[in-house]
Amino acid sequence: MPKQLIKTPCIGLCSTVYGDLVCRGCKRFHHEVVNWNLYGEDEKRAVWQRLETLLVQVVAAKLEVFDPHLLRHQLQQRQIRFVERQSPYCWAYQLIARGARLIQQLDAYGIVLLPEFRDSSLPQLRDAIDREYFLLSEAHYQRYIAPLFLVEGAESRG
């Protein structure tokens, strides 16, 4: 498994270059993508924490990680990159995002789908998680970030 640290949430599917305020790939806000390399460790940690919190909220509503050690082992065996310090629910998402079409038995990875999602295929589940994660990120942006830009803009004009 590649041992390099994952230094950015970027997954190479940036939509902020097309004008999105929230990236459809990594779910960071436009200004976070633009300023990432200028951020200090505290700012980066805050972004990582928000992304983790939102993703865990979505994933935990659809599946249960019943054996995090098995999941970690499977990720390492399959050379799927994941952020070790994050929740096993983030690891589960990485597994599903990378292997949705290949996985036959999810329980062999220490994961079980919640009853209401057992009829969903893993590609459908992956897409549903990604869509809901994006919508939560957008809602967070609209609720907490956009008003700040309005206030800052008014202050600079006034």
Q: Cα separation of 152 and 137, whole Å?
A: 21
Number of domains into which the chain is organized: 1
Closest listed residue to residue 86, CA positions, set 5, 2, 1: 5
**Residue 44 placed within a domain:** no
Domain range enclosing 105: 52-157
**Residue 129 placed within a domain:** yes
User: In sequence order, what E strands does 35-157 have?
Assistant: 63-65, 111-113
**Residue 30 placed within a domain:** no
On the question of pLDDT at 149 being above 90, the answer is: no
**Residue 116 placed within a domain:** yes
Q: What is the pLDDT of residues 88-145, one digit of tens each?
A: 999 999 999 999 999 999 999 999 999 999 999 999 999 999 999 999 999 999 999 9
**Residue 140 placed within a domain:** yes
Q: What is the pLDDT of residues 28-38, one digit of tens each?
A: 999 999 999 99
**Residue 70 placed within a domain:** yes
pLDDT at 1: 43
